[in-house]
Structure 1
């Protein structure tokens, strides 16, 4: 993807309903999405005599005649109990810093791998979302090269100074009925346990480790040429993900043919804290309808924000379509009350209420038609980062938390 790509829509409207039954929190999300195929992701394709990775971006992101990308649609949100300074005012902008991948200032692989924390301790090769407070200096500085010591980071996490980051993924989690779960402190860490997807090994000459069961998918693989022509497997009911029930070992005599396409990411049942969120999405032909649900109190509070009826939390959503990393629509921070109506201020968007309902074991048990819809704008943030904000025109007001992104974007009167 080129660095100057911008979506056709600079703003998306997210329609949200929220409920709780004193045991579980339930969300329903809806947003317009006319492009099909957002459930196809990161494919290995046998093309011109060798296996190649066709990953990012999806064909509808640009107008190239020969596209070699497939990237799933996603919905995510930050959730906080008020412990993270600056999050209420600046939402996800707080987590994007100079040096982060996909920004022009992205740190080099060599610099990250040689860093004592990110390279030696975490084994990373890039910089992803992090909180400025995870770094030494003033609370707002956020220099990843000055990240705090492991002891200081553990103490912050124990105090709840992290952002909970659940996500619904159209390919990498939806086929098994779950979301994925992460949290942001010094990095975007996956929650403890087993997440819904992994990666299979592959080589250009030897191919992948796994393929589809040929009794389920003819030829053991999807057909790249058919999908490129718009013949997508049906979302939800079709076979397009390597779930355990349709996966077998790769056999080149069956699945090595021009255009054979096999997902690089096998899907599996999650476990542990990584399995807190159940989730399900349906593409109706012109919009996504996604539901997500989790217990208010989870087994692992060390990486998940714990919730209580009657309390108010902070929530900021985002949507990805056809591409990853920074190429998404980001939302502002909203106050979210569980059975209570949070106070409204002019510098923040209208708050949400999770309405109390009868016992609902799953989001499908909620009568969503009875609940009000909260519509909120999400915008394309481009390459603007927290580093830009705290050194720009409004630096003093931002550093002192005397303004908000909602106000800076001229929305205070909405």
Structure 2
């Protein structure tokens, strides 16, 4: 992934470019009418629209995201996103059953009211800094104090379907869960049933027949990412009418889009797919009105940054980067004794004017890997040959798997 980072006295900009030869990554989570009932088409993933399997039902958007920390989260500068993946998370072989989550005092009906376990940081749990059992989450008062002290990871995302048409990203933070920031995100969820269908459809004046045609899209006729209609804006939605939009192959997004506000709308963003490549820009103010769920930024300071890309898939099906030190106008020092110069250290360039002139901003090539099911528990397990170094924070992910960044970039698979 090619990455450029620029800032001025008020804002920071990120620009990402990566190859993505398969079109259609701007379609997401569709309700489709076939054989007399409505079905949700969101899996399996990843989805490629021109594959020969006529019954493929995966529609999942492309995304780019990153984790950002100001040094408050112990271990993040060494281990990046692996610090947040734990035993019991959804999509892992150890995934905690929904019923167990719902009956848990913290995550269940009487607490967060969740149905699964997602990312969290070990500091949200009791015990030593590296201990991470999801059943030992700290009391709410202690979590609130950690959040007030800035002990969380900032997690902004650009989503090709659920945020890009609105000109925003979506903003999240990780403490005891992957929480959405305060306010309102760019998307909501409409109710539906197999018999009655969705609540909403497109106004037929916007989309003929009130719905997209699944068969056309499956066969490769995809709405244009620039000027086609593929996302259901609430402003373009009307109450579902089965006499209009209940026909074989009718397809309506389950996630209508809305105007965001509050901390959830801190990041503006725009993305364009052309010639098999995404170009995405994300930007926000250095200082925001919501310091308890957004990492505040300052010129001359150093942060830890770790990116990821999803293509037509969710959950663990993504490509992740190791952690990098990011200096806003200053040269950072990466921890560890090996591979601490070059691509492990990024410097944001200062710019003037309304927006950066990207042709004059340094570009970094960031290698990404598929993380598989390697999680934090594996790294700190007593059977891991370097568990003591991990617990002491004296080794980094780059060193742990002996990946020299320069050699890493030259590897054929990247």
Alpha-carbon contact 1:36-1:285 (below 8 Å) kept: no
Instruction: Quote the offset at 1:237 in angstroms.
Output: 1.5
Question: What residue is the counterpart of 1:410 in the other structure?
Answer: 402
Q: Does residue 391 of structure 2 align to residue 396 of structure 1?
A: no
Alpha-carbon contact 2:121-2:175 (below 8 Å) kept: yes
Match of 1:199 among 189, 192, 195: 189
Q: Does residue 342 of structure 2 align to residue 354 of structure 1?
A: no
Give, in whole Å, the separation in 2 of the partners of 1:334 and 1:385: 19
Instruction: Quote the offset at 1:58 in angstroms.
Output: 4.2
Q: Please tell me the root mean square deviation across aligned C-alpha atoms, in Å.
A: 1.3
Question: What residue is the counterpart of 2:124 in the other structure?
Answer: 134
Question: What residue is the counterpart of 2:36 in the other structure?
Answer: 49
Question: What residue is the counterpart of 2:168 in the other structure?
Answer: 178
Question: What residue is the counterpart of 1:298 in the other structure?
Answer: 288
For residues 204-219 of structure 1, the aligned pairs below 5 Å read 204-219=194-209
Point out where structure 2 has 5 or more consecutive residues left out of the alignment. 407-414
State TM-score, norm by structure 1: 0.94
Give, in whole Å, the separation in 2 of the partners of 1:209 and 1:279: 29
Question: What residue is the counterpart of 2:21 in the other structure?
Answer: 34
Give, in whole Å, the separation in 2 of the partners of 1:179 and 1:228: 27
Q: Does residue 55 of structure 2 align to residue 66 of structure 1?
A: yes
Q: Does residue 264 of structure 2 align to residue 274 of structure 1?
A: yes
Instruction: Quote the offset at 1:249 in angstroms.
Output: 1.4
Question: What residue is the counterpart of 1:336 in the other structure?
Answer: 326
Give, in whole Å, the separation in 2 of the partners of 1:63 and 1:103: 29
Instruction: Quote the offset at 1:63 in angstroms.
Output: 6.9
State TM-score, norm by structure 2: 0.94
Alpha-carbon contact 2:24-2:48 (below 8 Å) kept: no
Match of 2:11 among 24, 33, 40: 24
Alpha-carbon contact 2:398-2:405 (below 8 Å) kept: no
Alpha-carbon contact 1:175-1:236 (below 8 Å) kept: no
For residues 188-215 of structure 1, the C-alpha deviation after alignment (integer angstroms, 9 at most, x for no partner) is 0000000111100001111101111111
Give, in whole Å, the separation in 1 of the partners of 2:235 and 2:352: 35
Instruction: Quote the offset at 1:236 in angstroms.
Output: 2.7
Instruction: Quote the offset at 1:64 in angstroms.
Output: 4.2
Point out where structure 1 has 5 or more consecutive residues left out of the alignment. 1-13
SS in 2 for 1:323: coil
Aligned length: 397
SS in 1 for 2:366: strand
Give, in whole Å, the separation in 2 of the partners of 1:377 and 1:207: 43
Q: Does residue 68 of structure 2 align to residue 79 of structure 1?
A: yes
Alpha-carbon contact 2:54-2:218 (below 8 Å) kept: no
For residues 43-99 of structure 1, the C-alpha deviation after alignment (integer angstroms, 9 at most, x for no partner) is 000010000000022432987442111000000000100110000000000000000
SS in 1 for 2:115: coil
Instruction: Quote the offset at 1:351 in angstroms.
Output: 1.3
Instruction: Quote the offset at 1:344 in angstroms.
Output: 4.7
